[in-house]
Amino acid sequence: MYADYAYLIVGLPVLAFLLCLFLGWHLPRGGGFITVLATFGGLIISLGIFNEIYPDKIVHQSMPWFANFNVGILIDPLALVMLLMVTFVVTLIHIYGNGYMNGDPGAARYFAEAALFSAAMLGLVYSDNLLQLFIFWELVGLCSYLLIGFWYRKPSAAAAAKKAFLTTRVGDVLFLAGIILLYNNLASLNIALKPGEFLLQFPVIYAHIAEIPPAQLTLIALGLLGGAVGKSGQFPLHVWLPDAMEGPTTVSAMIHAATMVTAGVYLVARMFPLFYAAPHALTAVAAVGAFTALFAATMGLTAFDIKRVLAFSTVSQLGFMMAGLGVGAAVGAMAVGVSIFHLIGHSFFKALLFLCAGSVIHAVNTNDLREMGGVGRYMKWTMYTMLIGSLSLAGFPFFTGFFSKDEIIVIAYEYGTMINFLPYIFLVLAAVLTAIYTFRMWFSVFTGKERSDYGKHESPWIMLGPLVILAVFAFGFGIASQDSFYSYLDSNFEHYGVNFQELGIIGGHVLEGEHGAPEAAGGEHVASEAEHGENEAHGEPWYIQILPIIIALGGILIAGLFYWDKIKRFDPSQVTGDTDPIRKMLLKGYYQHEILTAWFAEGVVYGTALICNMIDIKLVDGWLNWLSAWVMGFAKNIRKVQTGVVQNYVTALVLGIVVLVVVISLAKEVGLV
């Protein structure tokens, strides 16, 4: 029954968007409560659908749109967990936003754009075909642009919005190219579609992956990966994400931590069978993910802006998710469950961390860690909820992040035993750094002396309420749902009868079922794990299992040694020094700005552009100038005619007739037609 109203999950936020846009100015708090109600309605419907279809049914509704395309809703386990997460987190953030945006003159615009964003993200998640997904994908990008530039009179915000839009555009072009390539390949298969089936629908794609040439599959997968890299802020298209923190903190929490940036990971998960079948595609995913995870974590170590620390952390955690999918080359479809589990858990604790940061910023009116210190004395609730979020992010035992992140590290180890240890090493290092930078942030905000004169008050309850709820999930989600989550997600592709054995052969993956387990004896077969969803008994040595706990505790300890004032007095003057070359490099973000903007963009690209410009001026422009001069002259002549001499019009008419007659006669003569 609830499934009949699935369209309302997108419909309600769209309605809220229109209401806030047109009537928000006349409503209290810019009509924010409408947006809350809309996403809350979506949450109710999603829960109803969950109740109806769990654990073994899916919802698929579709109707023809035009030509070869359809619009449709596909709610399978993968989509359902995303729907639940997005509606839940976004509802909480909207509630918080009602407090945070209170008094902002643009509140109505904020809530309208936030509602549109919710609609786009939810539509993206449950699209049943790639084209519709792409449309919502672009809409999400548009909303991100609008919301980053929300304070558009601030030049840095406007610039950040533009940067985000242009950078993700690079990925989107690749994504679109991937879709077109996929469509062409599917179309050339001459598939006999049943009524109600369309080429770009996911079930149809899944069913025909094996028939597409492997080389084409890799190209398609790399195109889609390009889109995912852009959206999920992976190296080298991650540069926009830290700058995106120019928007209101709620936007950072909603878009740039919990939901939108996960769209890239979701895309790879959604198309996982294709990535699995495409030779080398998952290797690229693993490489990008693992590298990004470590790379971003090192930059998180030195940032002084609390939101930038969290932004780098987001980039790094998204790298974990990508790597989790990438190592699926070794462990098969269970990688999707592991990666999405981290995605969901991350949404909870990262949303929590951002909202806590927002609460702190709301009170102290600065983003700079160096100007905070001792905030915990005045903001107890914020401090403890943020502690829970930080512990979860750091992977402290029994917190959500512990289960999800460590599972990725463990399967990366399996990948290592079978293929390559590099991702594993990168991820372990990144995990150590994660614990360090998280607690560096927490200690320097909440403990120690007050380092500037700031507002000393706790935030209102409309903001604290969501924090408490999110904290509950940041702590308990992992322990409560781990096993059922894996088994539920592992069943995702069974609904479509995807044969991973067959796809694995195309993709050139060593499948244990056929070749015997290459890893340690006594290890359970991963393929059978994927089927039965048993994740308890891995064949890893005990120290691999224990290592993540050591990592988390060790990282927190190291951070404490340096930043907890009970141990060592935090002195901002010591850390501002630009003399230390390593610190300076990290602070400068590996000189990316220097390399990408100053050297590559301004040096190489601009230099090339200058040369092209020379050619352009001399050759192309010369020709164009001649053409435009000719056109202008032509236009002038028309003007002359149009001063009133109608005879000239008629002359043109007659001339036209004569020319046509002559040309056609000649063409006949020559035999052209």
User: Do 207 and 497 contact (CB within 8 A), yes or no?
Assistant: yes
- Whichever of 145 and 424 has its CB closer to other proteins, that residue is 145
By the rule CB under 8 A, 188 interacts with other proteins? no
- Whichever of 64 and 541 has its CB closer to other proteins, that residue is 64
By the rule CB under 8 A, 657 interacts with other proteins? yes
The C-alpha atoms of residue 16 and residue 40 are separated, in whole angstroms, by 12
Residue 271 in tokens: 């198309």
By the rule CB under 8 A, 612 interacts with other proteins? no
Task: Give the three-class secondary structure for 420.
Answer: coil
**In angstroms, what is the minimal distance from the CB of 65 to other proteins?**
7
The C-alpha atoms of residue 216 and residue 279 are separated, in whole angstroms, by 10
The C-alpha atoms of residue 95 and residue 250 are separated, in whole angstroms, by 10
Question: What phi and psi, each to the nearest 5 degrees, are found at residue 63?
Answer: -140, 150
The C-alpha atoms of residue 352 and residue 255 are separated, in whole angstroms, by 13
**In angstroms, what is the minimal distance from the CB of 133 to other proteins?**
16
- Whichever of 561 and 659 has its CB closer to other proteins, that residue is 659
**In angstroms, what is the minimal distance from the CB of 236 to other proteins?**
29
User: Do 340 and 303 contact (CB within 8 A), yes or no?
Assistant: no
**In angstroms, what is the minimal distance from the CB of 588 to other proteins?**
36
By the rule CB under 8 A, 644 interacts with other proteins? yes
CB atoms within 10 A of CB 10: 23
By the rule CB under 8 A, 611 interacts with other proteins? no
Residue 58 in tokens: 């899916």
Residue 25 in tokens: 């100015």
By the rule CB under 8 A, 180 interacts with other proteins? no
**In angstroms, what is the minimal distance from the CB of 166 to other proteins?**
18
340-364 burial by CB neighbour count: b if 16+ within 10 A, else e?
bbbbbbbbbbbbbbbbbbbbbbbbb
Binding mask 205-224 for other proteins (x = CB under 8 A): --------------------
Report residue 619 CA to chain centroid gap: 43
Among 166, 180, 189, 193, binds other proteins (CB under 8 A): 193
| Beta carbons within 8 Å of 472's beta carbon, 6+ residues apart | none
**Which residues share a beta bridge with 74?**
60
**In angstroms, what is the minimal distance from the CB of 647 to other proteins?**
9
Residue 476 in tokens: 């308990």
Angle at 93 between CA 478 and CA 300, to 5 degrees: 65
Q: How far apart are the first and last CA of the chain?
A: 63
Q: Which stretch binds other proteins (CB under 8 A): 152-160, 291-299, 475-483, 650-658?
A: 650-658
Question: What phi and psi, each to the nearest 5 degrees, are found at residue 169?
Answer: -60, -40
In the region spanning residues 623 to 642, those forming contacts with other proteins, defined by CB under 8 A, are 631-632, 635, 638, 641-642
**In angstroms, what is the minimal distance from the CB of 116 to other proteins?**
16
Residue 257 backbone class (left: φ over 0; alpha: ψ -120 to 50; beta: rest)? alpha
**In angstroms, what is the minimal distance from the CB of 194 to other proteins?**
10
Distances (CA, A) of 108 to 24, 424, 483: 5, 47, 42
In the region spanning residues 16 to 35, those forming contacts with other proteins, defined by CB under 8 A, are none
Q: Which stretch binds other proteins (CB under 8 A): 61-69, 398-406, 535-543, 591-599?
A: 61-69
Give the count of residues interacting with other proteins (CB under 8 A): 32
**In angstroms, what is the minimal distance from the CB of 179 to other proteins?**
15
By the rule CB under 8 A, 546 interacts with other proteins? no
**In angstroms, what is the minimal distance from the CB of 170 to other proteins?**
20
By the rule CB under 8 A, 61 interacts with other proteins? no
By the rule CB under 8 A, 67 interacts with other proteins? yes
By the rule CB under 8 A, 646 interacts with other proteins? yes
By the rule CB under 8 A, 614 interacts with other proteins? no
Name the CA radius of gyration of the chain, rounded: 28
Among 7, 65, 151, 304, binds other proteins (CB under 8 A): 65
Residue 216 in tokens: 């084409």
Task: Give the three-class secondary structure for 241.
Answer: helix
Task: Give the three-class secondary structure for 626.
Answer: helix
- Whichever of 546 and 658 has its CB closer to other proteins, that residue is 658
| DSSP label of 1 | -
The C-alpha atoms of residue 341 and residue 329 are separated, in whole angstroms, by 18
**In angstroms, what is the minimal distance from the CB of 16 to other proteins?**
19
- Whichever of 614 and 654 has its CB closer to other proteins, that residue is 654
By the rule CB under 8 A, 619 interacts with other proteins? no
Among 28, 55, 64, 397, binds other proteins (CB under 8 A): 64
By the rule CB under 8 A, 620 interacts with other proteins? no
By the rule CB under 8 A, 567 interacts with other proteins? no
By the rule CB under 8 A, 664 interacts with other proteins? yes
**In angstroms, what is the minimal distance from the CB of 17 to other proteins?**
15
User: Do 499 and 375 contact (CB within 8 A), yes or no?
Assistant: no
Residue 151, amino acid? W
Among 68, 102, 366, 597, binds other proteins (CB under 8 A): 68
- Whichever of 608 and 665 has its CB closer to other proteins, that residue is 665
Contact residues for other proteins, defined by CB under 8 A: 64-68, 193, 198, 631-632, 635, 638, 641-642, 644, 646, 648-650, 652-653, 655-657, 660-661, 663-665, 667-668, 672-673
